Structure 1
């Protein structure tokens, strides 16, 4: 009820997640592995503490990540269709995206094939498909708003949808926790 009153009639709001615990070294003890969830609606704040398991189930979905920093999440109603994008890490490394070249619909690709490119003010990087399959849909919004990759890389900034050939490839990709460890090891 409180959430409805806060958000009702407010055009813009955002959700911020502040990690406390093993993912963030600013914690008091290893037992305090929790996430502080804060909803900001204009000047109103609603604070709640959620345990990490709830966060992973409710908010993160089941994103899987490749070593090339692409993510994929399967459609809720059809587990043979995946939506693909680039990770938060990748979009931050790129900087402001100015152009996205996407693959053609009905194109078939093998896992880790180059399927397009993303250009930013800093660099140009290839896009790879994290699984084998056929491209079935493109995010047409990126032609006019390529910066959606920066502002909403896991939602509105997705790149394409693919019909999976082999679901085992998806299962072998890194989950969020493994990907976070991969990033830590890569930085070391």
Structure 2
């Protein structure tokens, strides 16, 4: 009886909010042929380089991020990274506005090596056109691309 009372008075009133929170927390991850990832949640896409990219580049020593508020077009250059081996431009996989940048990269660009798909994120973009996501790769297509490059 106590369990039924708990369910009726505590759990049921919050059930719609719990379902909504579960939906909000879901992000979809996309990849580019230039070895960048974009994790999209709502209208915000978090951009970074893939683990494959950081392995190819080697030790990253410098990261140039865009400015918050910058408007970007799909495929436009928005920053750069330099490693002991090479320099590489970062391209916007979607159009939109830069709403946040990872300022920690200025002091610790090695985050791109140690945590490329988490703490080493590059910038956050407010998407202007969700249809541009259709041009990006899903995880299986990206893995196939990496395997093809290795052979």
Q: Report the TM-score range of the alignment, normalised by the length of the smaller protein.
A: 0.7 to 0.9
Q: Confirm or deny: 8 A CA contact 1:100 1:142 kept in the other structure.
A: yes
Q: Distance in 2 between matches of 1:62 and 1:91?
A: 21
Structure 1: where are the runs of 5+ without partners? 1-60
If you compute each CA radius of gyration, which structure gives the higher value, 1 or 2? Answer: 2
Give matches, 1:1-188, under 5 Å. Answer: 62-75=28-41, 79-188=42-151
Deviation at 1:187, TM superposition (A): 2.9
Q: Distance in 1 between matches of 2:132 and 2:64?
A: 24
Counterpart secondary structure, 2:109: coil
Deviation at 1:69, TM superposition (A): 0.9
Structure 2: where are the runs of 5+ without partners? 1-26
Counterpart secondary structure, 1:67: coil
Larger RCO, structure (CA 8 Å, separation 6 or more): 2
TM-score w.r.t. the length of structure 1 is 0.64
Cα RMSD (Å) = 1.1
Richer in helix (by share): 2
Deviation at 1:63, TM superposition (A): 1.5
